[in-house]
Structure 1
Amino acid sequence: MSRIQPAEPSQRTEEQRQLLEVVLGDEAPNLFSTVVQHPALFRAWLPFCLHLLMSSAFPARERELLIIRTASLCGSAYELEHHLALGADVGLTDYELAALTGHANQSWAPRDRLLVAAVDELHADHVISDATWHGLSEQLTTEQLIELPMLAGHYVLLAGVLRSLGVPLDSEQAEPSAVRYPDAVK
C-alpha cells in the first residue's frame, strides 16, 4: 500500500517537472515521481544514482548481478521488476537470474561467485569478509573494490525507501507478488 503517492504529472510543480526531465519526464517511473516530492534531496541523490547505473566501474552484466542480488536479499519487488529485465538484457541467463533471487542453485564462475558472496556478506554483516576481499582484490580494480559496497549499499537504501514509502510497482499489478521471477532451468 502506497504511503506517499507518486506525483502525477498534473500535480507536479514546475521544479519537479524540470527535475524529472532527465528520467523520462511525464513518464518517470514511480520511484522518481515519489522522491521528487523532496526536490532538494532528489537533486542531491539523482547524480549518484545515475552514476552507479550508467557509469559503473563494473561491466553491465556484473553491475546487474550485484543489484539483483541486493534487491532480492532486501525484498525489493520494485527494484527486481526493473533489474530482472535489465539483467536479462545484459546477458544474465534465466537460470542465473533465478539463482540470484533464491529460486535456483547456480554453480558460478569464480569471479561471479566472489561478487555474490560479497553482496551476501554485506547484507548479513555489513562487511566483506577477509577471504572474499582477498579473492576480489586479485580480480577487481581499486575503483571496483570501492564501488562494490557503495553500489550494494545504494540498493539497500533504495529498498528501504521503496518499501517504507510503499512506492507502487510501475507495472499494471501493484502487488509485490506480481514480480515474475525467472523459472529455473531444469
Structure 2
Amino acid sequence: MPVGAPLAPAERTEEQRELLSGVLGDDAPNLFSTVVRHPALFRAWLPFCLQLLAHSVFPGRERELLIIRTAWRCGSAYELAHHLELGAREGLSDHELAALTGEAAGTWSTRERLLVAAADELHANHVIRDVTWRELSALLTTEQLIELPMLVGHYVLLAGTLRSLGVPLDGPQAASTFPLQSL
C-alpha cells in the first residue's frame, strides 16, 4: 500500500477517528486521512492549517488567490482541485481563475497584482523581492505581511507532501485534469 493512500474509516484507530472528527470524520478529504497516519504530526499541523484556511487575516478572495497561484506553481493537482472551487465561492471569476493558472492574462487590482507577484517570487526564490515588499508594505497590515510568506510556504509544503506521497484526488475530482504547466 502506498504511503499516500488515505486511511479508510475501518482502518483508523480510535485516536485517528478522534483526530479526524474536526475535519468531516469518516468523510475527511484524502489529505487529512493520509496525514492522520502520523497522529502526532497531524495533531501539531492541523491547527496551523486551519488557522491559515479558516482564520486568515486576508479576505477569502485574496487568500484563495495566493493559494491557487501557489498550488499551480507547485503542480499540485490536489490543492488546485480544492481551491479552484473555493476560489470561485470567494468571488474569483472564471477568467481570474484561468489567469492564476496561466491560461489567461490577469487584469488585477494593484494589490492583487502584488500578491500574485509575491507568490511567484516566493515560489521562484523563497523570498519576496525588495521592490515588491516595499509596495506591499504600503497596502498590507503587519499581520498580513507576516502571514503572506507563511500562507504561501504552507501550501508549498502541502504540495510537496501531496505529490511525494501520491495522495489521490477526492471523489469525482479524481477523474479531472487541471492546468498544471508552470511558467
Q: Work out whether residues 2 and 168 of structure 1, in 8 Å CA contact, stay in contact via their aligned partners in 2.
A: no
CA distance in 2, matches of 1:159, 1:41: 17
CA distance in 1, matches of 2:11, 2:150: 33
CA distance in 1, matches of 2:15, 2:47: 17
CA distance in 2, matches of 1:2, 1:98: 33
Deviation string for 1:40-82 (max 9, x for gaps)?
0000000000000000010000000000000000000000110
Q: Give the 3 Å change call, closer, same or farther, for CA 169–20 of structure 1 in structure 2.
A: same
Q: Which amino acid aligns with 2:49?
A: C
Partner of 2:49: 49
CA distance in 2, matches of 1:78, 1:2: 17
Alignment partner for residue 179 of structure 1, among 166, 177, 180? 177
**Percent sequence identity over aligned pairs:** 72
Q: Aligned to 1:40, what secondary structure does the other structure show?
A: helix
1:117 aligns with 2:117: yes
Q: Aligned to 1:179, what secondary structure does the other structure show?
A: coil
User: TM-score, normalization: structure 2?
Assistant: 0.94
Please, which runs of 5 or more residues in structure 1 have no aligned partner?
A: 182-186
CA distance in 1, matches of 2:33, 2:86: 20
Q: Work out whether residues 30 and 168 of structure 2, in 8 Å CA contact, stay in contact via their aligned partners in 1.
A: yes
CA distance in 1, matches of 2:2, 2:98: 28
Q: Which amino acid aligns with 1:6?
A: P
CA distance in 2, matches of 1:34, 1:112: 33
CA distance in 1, matches of 2:63, 2:89: 12
For 1:21-170, list aligned pairs within 5 A. Answer: 21-170=21-170
Q: Work out whether residues 80 and 179 of structure 1, in 8 Å CA contact, stay in contact via their aligned partners in 2.
A: no
Please, which runs of 5 or more residues in structure 2 have no aligned partner?
A: none
Structure 1 residue 5 displacement after superposition: 1.1
Task: State how many pairs are aligned.
Answer: 179
Q: Work out whether residues 79 and 159 of structure 2, in 8 Å CA contact, stay in contact via their aligned partners in 1.
A: yes
Structure 1 residue 3 displacement after superposition: 4.1
User: TM-score, normalization: structure 1?
Assistant: 0.93
Q: Aligned to 2:26, what secondary structure does the other structure show?
A: helix
Partner of 1:184: none
Deviation string for 1:71-118 (max 9, x for gaps)?
000000000110000000010000000000111111211000000000
Deviation string for 1:2-26 (max 9, x for gaps)?
5431100000000000000000000
